[in-house]
C-alpha cells in the first residue's frame, strides 16, 4: 500500500524536474525518460501519473499558475485602499521569482504551446481573466468604468511585454526597472484622469 501523500510528493518531484529539464534543453528536446532521471524515479512512475509529455507540461503550468495566484493573494493581504491594491498587484506580477531563469523557460514553453492545445488555452484564459479582474477591480475605484477597463488592459499588456523583454534580453532592464516603468504608467493614468476632472470643473464655473 502506497504511503499517504505519495502521489502529491511524486507529482511535485516530476513538476520540478520538468521545469529544470525545460530550462536545460527546451521542451521540444526533453523526454519522459530525461524527466524521470532528473526526478530520480523510473519512467514507469512518470507514466503512472501522466499520459505523456504534454500532460506533464499542463500539470506544471497548473502548479505555476496556482503558485502565482497564492503569491497575488499574499501581496494583497492587508491592503486597504485601491492604490495599495494596485501597488501590491504590481509587486506580485513583477516579483523577482518570476524572472528566475528556470521559471522564465517554463512560462515561455507554456505560451509557445498555447495555440496548439485546447487545455493550455483554457489555462491561459483563466490566467488572463484573473489578472484582468484584479486590476479592473482596483481601477474601478479610481477611474470611470470605461477608463478602468482600458487601464487594466494597458497595464496587463505592459507587465507581460516588459516581462518578456527582460526575460529574453539580458542586461536590457531588470525587474526593478520594469516595476518602475509600470509604476510611471499607472501614475500617468491617474494624472490624466485628475486633469480631465479639473477641466470639466473649470468648464462649469
pLDDT in the model for residue 159? 95
Q: Where in the chain is the domain with CATH 1.10.357.10?
A: 63-204
Question: If DSSP codes are grouped into helix, strand and coil, which group holds residue 152?
Answer: helix
In the block, residue with C-alpha cell 500500500: 1
Say which residue, 15 or 7, is predicted with more confidence.
Answer: 15
Its pTM surpasses 0.75: yes
Which is nearest to 53 in space by CA: 3, 93, 113, 94?
113
DSSP state of 205: -
- Chain segment 81-105, per-residue pLDDT in tens: 999 999 999 999 999 999 898 999 9
pLDDT band at 198 (very low <50, low <70, confident <90, very high): very low
CATH architecture of 63-204: Orthogonal Bundle (1.10)
DSSP state of 2: P
Superfamily of chain region 1-50: Homeodomain-like (1.10.10.60)
Q: Where in the chain is the domain with CATH 1.10.10.60?
A: 1-50
In angstroms, rounded to a whole number, what is the distance separating the alpha carbons of residues 157 and 162? Answer: 8
Amino acid at each position: 500500500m502506497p504511503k499517504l501523500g505519495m502521489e502529491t510528493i511524486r507529482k511535485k518531484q516530476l513538476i520540478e524536474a520538468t521545469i529544470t529539464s525545460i530550462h536545460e534543453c527546451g521542451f521540444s528536446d526533453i523526454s519522459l525518460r530525461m524527466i524521470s532521471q532528473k526526478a530520480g524515479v523510473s519512467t514507469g512512475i512518470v507514466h503512472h501519473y501522466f499520459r505523456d509529455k504534454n500532460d506533464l507540461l499542463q500539470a506544471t503550468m497548473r502548479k505555476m499558475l496556482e503558485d502565482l495566484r497564492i503569491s497575488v493573494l499574499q501581496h494583497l493581504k492587508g491592503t486597504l485602499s485601491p492604490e495599495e491594491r494596485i501597488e501590491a498587484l504590481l509587486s506580485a506580477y513583477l516579483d523577482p521569482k518570476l524572472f528566475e531563469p528556470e521559471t522564465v523557460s517554463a512560462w515561455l514553453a507554456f505560451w509557445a504551446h498555447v495555440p496548439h492545445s485546447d487545455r493550455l488555452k483554457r489555462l491561459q484564459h483563466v490566467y488572463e481573466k484573473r489578472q484582468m479582474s484584479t486590476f479592473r477591480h482596483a481601477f474601478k475605484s479610481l477611474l470611470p468604468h470605461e477608463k478602468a477597463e482600458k487601464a487594466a488592459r494597458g497595464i496587463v499588456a505592459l507587465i507581460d511585454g516588459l516581462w518578456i523583454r527582460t526575460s529574453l534580453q539580458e542586461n536590457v532592464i531588470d525587474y526593478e526597472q520594469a516595476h518602475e516603468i509600470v509604476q510611471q504608467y499607472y501614475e500617468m493614468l491617474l494624472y490624466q484622469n485628475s486633469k480631465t476632472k479639473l477641466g470639466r470643473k473649470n468648464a462649469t464655473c
